[in-house]
A and B are shown apart, each in its own frame.
Chain A
Amino acid sequence: MKKVGFFAERVKPVIIMAALTIICIAIVSGIHLSTQDLVIANEGLFLKKAVLYAGGIKLPETNAEINELYEERVAERGDIFEISGLSGDIAAYAFIIVGPGLWGEIEAVTAFTPDLASFVGVEFVKQNETPGLGARITEPWFKEQMRGKPFPLRMVPEGTAGASGEIDAITGASRTSAYVLQIFNSAGEKAEKLRKEGI
């Protein structure tokens, strides 16, 4: 067998590995930096869309129009979003609420009426629920049922919600439904606290 020297056996692999790692890091960092602005813009736009949707405002088609509408209708005060109606009066207060989900954190924008007594709407900003089951919380029927609902909420089997304060759970996603209910009710508590303290 050929005798392998110390350099070839020990040093060379380390040098090659280090060099390759540096090259790979450079490539990935380069791509990351060149798309960073786009990613930040996407995230910003995503939140704007969520706030507008939760506030019950119909979203325009293009991104530029969304940005414009947001500038016009939404004022950020601390962590509260003040959404104004067409007349200029406050139509809704919104804030971001975070809570546990089945696989990861669920983050949602919740909007409330000016008297902070019921929901105007909700939109999810971040969720990792099971696609096709828990992830159905992002489907319109689930989000739309929140419009005008007073809190605290109760969850009833899918398709049976009727009384005020009742929302449909998702069949096959009991845990996700329970977590979402918990998140919405804690948003309700926060709204009530804001009302007592005066907004």
Chain B
Amino acid sequence: MTTPSPASASTPRTRAPHVAHSPLLLVHDSWVEAIRHLRAMPRSPELLVYAAVQPLMFVILFVYVFGGAIVVPGYDDYRQFLIPGIFAQTVVFNSAFTGVGLAEDLTKGLVDRLRSLPIHQASVLIGRTLSDAVRNVLTFVVMIGVALLVGFRFEGTLPGALAATGLLLAFSYAFSWIQAWVGLSVKTVEAANSGGFIWMFPLTFVSSAFVDPASMPGWLQPVAENNPFTTLTNAARALYNGRDAGSDPWIALAWAVGITVVFAVIASRKFAATSRR
């Protein structure tokens, strides 16, 4: 211990007007929080590897194991049908990182510390979801490489492909807010992990991501057809393959915006009322 700094003398120093309520500070605080996670990201590259390994496995399983047995209408090459579905599943699965990370901050008492600072409370969740979006972009780059390796070809226009990618990332961002709410609602990191994943399996499989819903039993078809994940997949698939996507991209975008708004509100409320125990 060295001599304490004079700044910590007994008289409270005059405070800078840094506690003012301003939207600019929300941007600043969110950015500082995002930086915290982005700095940490390259220190655990294994997280990025795991994020890429799972979709890789799905690609191999579905292209080489099931692929020969699956026939889909309108696509001669199953890969052209499947890969956009895997893209969609991957980005949505990646949203689970948000919930797990938040649960970790919560159990370690970091959330308490952050909540006791004079910051915009919303910035903790915004910073977290934004940094996870960056991770998602990185995973996506890896996925595109894998897709090209197994023989997938972007047959649509560049704007179409960019629109499809943007839509997938927007959907993933929306799901990050669902996961944020899950992460804040559970008691442990493990629960955030399973609670974040378990419902995403039926969501992504009972959809048009891997097979044509028309091949499913009659009672399951309406579920698959009305699944927003089906709309997302159909939109991305059409755009990547240069086909007519109809209104699907807009409907999928509306889902993404709607989910983001609703879950941003309830997750933020949860955050404000959350304590370590």
The answer to whether A and B assemble together is: no
